Amino acid sequence: MTELIVGLILFLGIHSASIVAPVARDKAAVRLGEYGWKGLYSVIALVGLILVIRGYGDARLDPIVLYSSPEWTRHLVMLLMLPVFVFFLAAYLPGRISHTLKHPMLVAVKLWAASHLLANGALADVLLFGSFLAWAVVDRISIKRRSVRDNPRFPSGKANDPAAIVGGLALYLAFVFWLHPVLIGVAIIR
């Protein structure tokens, strides 16, 4: 469980630099250069992500169950996850979806985390999904109070929404039928 917690602190901590210490983040970016900052940011995020994955996997071997969800919540998760991949891609493909949601990546993270909390009640699940949900809510609130940096994305265009929808649905199907069991170790379709 320690590995999971340290991973969450590193991963969400570096993703929170603009939330909790925007001046320090900007000074570090100036001191290291934009590419130096992004390199450091990426290394810390990657180490955190690896620790989250390993820690979560280890914690699932000996779960501490906080609550048990009814079987039907698994179906609800599948339904709620459908737009997550579309929103994820819409963050990089600016169009009507992106404009309507304003921050589609944060919407995707919140929907992913909240839906998984419905069906997974072990302590590790609550730590993982609850942390991401809390982070996404705080980040969305903080965006209103800070300047938003440009993120890498494709130019705005009419084909972006259809691309996000088709690509998102393809990713969803890939996760349902192949990637979730391979990467997470849990078959969605039983």
Q: Which tens digit of pLDDT belongs to each residue from 29-60?
A: 899 998 999 999 999 999 999 999 999 999 99
pLDDT at 163: 96
For 44, half-sphere exposure in the C-beta direction (CA atoms, 13 angstrom radius) is 17
CA dist 96 and 86 (Å) reads: 12
CB atoms within 10 A of CB 59: 21
Task: Determine if residue 103 is left, alpha or beta; phi over 0 gives left, psi from -120 to 50 gives alpha, anything else beta.
Answer: beta
Angle, vertex CA 18, rays to CA 167 and CA 133, nearest 5: 55
Q: In a 3-state reduction of DSSP, which class is residue 94?
A: coil
pLDDT at 159: 93
Tokens matching residue 149: 């940096």
pLDDT at 155: 79
Asked if residues 14 and 44 have their Cβ atoms less than 8 Å apart, the reply is yes
CB atoms within 10 A of CB 108: 23
- The model carries a pTM of 0.90
pLDDT < 70: residue spans in the chain: 148-151, 190
Asked if residues 72 and 133 have their Cβ atoms less than 8 Å apart, the reply is no
Asked if residues 108 and 84 have their Cβ atoms less than 8 Å apart, the reply is yes
Tokens matching residue 179: 């990637």
Task: Determine if residue 102 is left, alpha or beta; phi over 0 gives left, psi from -120 to 50 gives alpha, anything else beta.
Answer: left
pLDDT at 139: 94
